Structure 1
Amino acid sequence: MTEILRLENVSKAFGGIRAVNDVSFTLSEGEIVGLIGPNGAGKTTLVNLITGVHKLTGGKVIFAGQDVSRQKPFQAARRGLARTFQIVQPFPAMTVLENVAAGSLFGGGHAAMGAALDAARQELDFVGLGPVADTPAALLSLPNRKRLELAKSLAMKPKVLLLDEVNAGLNAAEIDGALDLIRKIAARGITIVIIEHLMKVVLSVSQRILVLHHGELIAQGDPTAVVNDPRVIEAYLGAKFAARFGTAASTSQGATSHV
């Protein structure tokens, strides 16, 4: 698979606090990668570093073979690094269509309003919001605001899409619909990083998982192997539970070996 994004020893300090510490990994074209970790692990900070919201304290961000470590957010968007936000805030006085057209004008390479509106309509149809294109964004339900956020990001023609808590606040049926949409986006060849707290969601959609804890990358790889890693269990549930889990696993393996 072709590499699209690489982080080399990326770090970020806020005063004396090391929010992200020496993180390195690569992403390939068309992958869906889960980024998990306890609250305060540094997940959103890492996304902000990738997209130029925060300046790096150290390390490099390489996107499509180019060092973009010093880029600004608008440059990231125009290069094809798009992201959604944990708290969805559309332009409330604008229609759904106008919101997505704004994304198309800003990062999608469309200088003319007509072309931007056409691109916006296509993405609204893709996410299932075509019928409410002329509705004021302020009137949308939470699930539809989430879909609007996706449509706006897709109108920017991303190569990599970073989804920050895209399922937060949704019920089980709405989450299933969101995951189907994420798979359809990946099928377009777009690399997706999904930040998520719901382990069931991460396991159902991710091809790989990255785990942050106290700003450090403590595990990465196959989802099943990662969630059974004692370091990951300890990060989420504490050292005592991790020790009990390890003892139980060893006992189970020993019993199996004597069968």
Structure 2
Amino acid sequence: MIEPILRLDGVSKQFGGLAALTDVSFSLNEGEVVGLIGPNGAGKTTLVNVVTGNLRRSSGRILFKSEDVGLQKPYQAARRGLARTFQIVQPFPAMTVLENVTAGALFGAGAGSLGDARDMAMQSLEFVGLDALADRPAANLALAARKRLELAKSLAMNPKVLMLDEVNAGLNSSEIDGALALIRKIAERGVTVLIIEHLMKVVLSLSKRLLVLHHGQLIADGPSAEIVADERVIEAYLGAKFAARLKELNHG
């Protein structure tokens, strides 16, 4: 039996008396593209923060390649191959585009030298289509380019698992299409992708499997077509009254 590349067993996270995550369990297989959806405040970003060491889980186990990594620090997660993007893109504004990505390669991937890190950074910038802007200050980039810069930084860390947190937020339709094409190219490299997204058309175009968080609990995990028709998922997104009305219409 092939072991999953990432597995969560009963992971919980409390902030004082608030339960942000409660007994969350799932696994990701190598090369899989999985969508993580849920209403605002469901705990999606908290989950990514816990997996990557930005927050310490309160209980449960996080296994990466069968190794318990629940106590890791963010730089250790990055060097293991657990990379992520951030919902709010904040590059180092005084540094150039190339310098931003070089920092990711140097400290995240543990590149052997500054020269190696720059080479890795340039390859990532070429991959996302930002190589022509390598010498431009990151502060001068428009939002869509900043999102690509965030992707380039993550790719320069040579990830095995890449967690994308709302990479399409704020983009227009053509920019979203470009982002989707990039994500598909990343998946073709064999990288396992967990994509957090509010736009259902985006998630469904990328993922054959969906995870659904609601109030910090995993309420569904399965094939995308089945999940979007699940009454619990519809209720979580649209409310009990709408879910009941939709059920009436479907059975009327």
* TM superposition score category, shorter chain reference: over 0.9
Q: Which residue of 1 aligns with 2:17?
A: 16
- 1:203 aligned counterpart, secondary structure: helix
Q: Distance in 2 between matches of 1:232 and 1:39?
A: 13
Q: CA deviation at 1:111?
A: 2.5
Instruction: Choose 174-183 or 237-246, whichever is displaced more.
Output: 237-246
Q: Which residue of 1 aligns with 2:226?
A: 225
Q: Which residue of 1 aligns with 2:140?
A: 139
Q: CA deviation at 1:250?
A: 2.4
Q: Which residue of 2 aligns with 1:33?
A: 34
Q: CA RMSD in A?
A: 0.9
Q: Distance in 1 between matches of 2:32 and 2:107?
A: 25
Q: Contact 2:101–2:156 at 8 Å: present in 1 too? A: yes
Q: CA deviation at 1:2?
A: 5.3
Taking structure 1 as the reference length, the TM-score comes to 0.95
- 1:3 aligned counterpart, secondary structure: coil
Q: CA deviation at 1:66?
A: 0.4
Q: Which residue of 2 aligns with 1:213?
A: 214
Instruction: Choose 182-191 or 104-113, whichever is displaced more.
Output: 104-113
Q: Contact 2:96–2:137 at 8 Å: present in 1 too? A: yes
Indicate yes or no: 2:80 matched with 1:79.
yes
Q: Which residue of 2 aligns with 1:167?
A: 168
Indicate yes or no: 2:243 matched with 1:242.
yes
Q: CA deviation at 1:102?
A: 0.4
Q: Which residue of 2 aligns with 1:257?
A: none
Indicate the percent of aligned positions where both proteins have the same amino acid: 69
Q: Distance in 2 between matches of 1:147 and 1:40?
A: 25
Q: CA deviation at 1:3?
A: 1.4
Q: Distance in 2 between matches of 1:45 and 1:106?
A: 23
Q: Which residue of 2 aligns with 1:69?
A: 70
Q: Distance in 1 between matches of 2:247 and 2:3?
A: 37
Q: Which residue of 2 aligns with 1:112?
A: 113
- 1:148 aligned counterpart, secondary structure: helix
Structure 1: runs of 5 or more not aligned: 252-259
Q: Distance in 2 between matches of 1:88 and 1:14?
A: 24
Q: Distance in 2 between matches of 1:240 and 1:130?
A: 50
Q: Encode CA deviations 1:112-169: one digit per residue, 9 max, x unaligned.
A: 1111111111110000001111111111111000000000000001100111110000
Letter in 1 for 2:200: M
Letter in 2 for 1:71: Q
Q: Contact 2:33–2:194 at 8 Å: present in 1 too? A: yes
Alignment of 1:89-100 (within 5 A): 89-100=90-101
- 1:181 aligned counterpart, secondary structure: helix
Q: Which residue of 2 aligns with 1:255?
A: none
Instruction: Choose 242-251 or 47-56, whichever is displaced more.
Output: 242-251
Q: CA deviation at 1:173?
A: 0.5
- 2:71 aligned counterpart, secondary structure: coil
Q: Which residue of 1 aligns with 2:177?
A: 176
Q: Distance in 2 between matches of 1:59 and 1:2?
A: 18
Letter in 1 for 2:173: A
Alignment of 1:192-207 (within 5 A): 192-207=193-208
Letter in 2 for 1:228: A
Taking structure 2 as the reference length, the TM-score comes to 0.98
Q: Distance in 2 between matches of 1:245 and 1:10?
A: 33
Q: Encode CA deviations 1:214-253: one digit per residue, 9 max, x unaligned.
A: 00000111111101100000001111111122222223xx
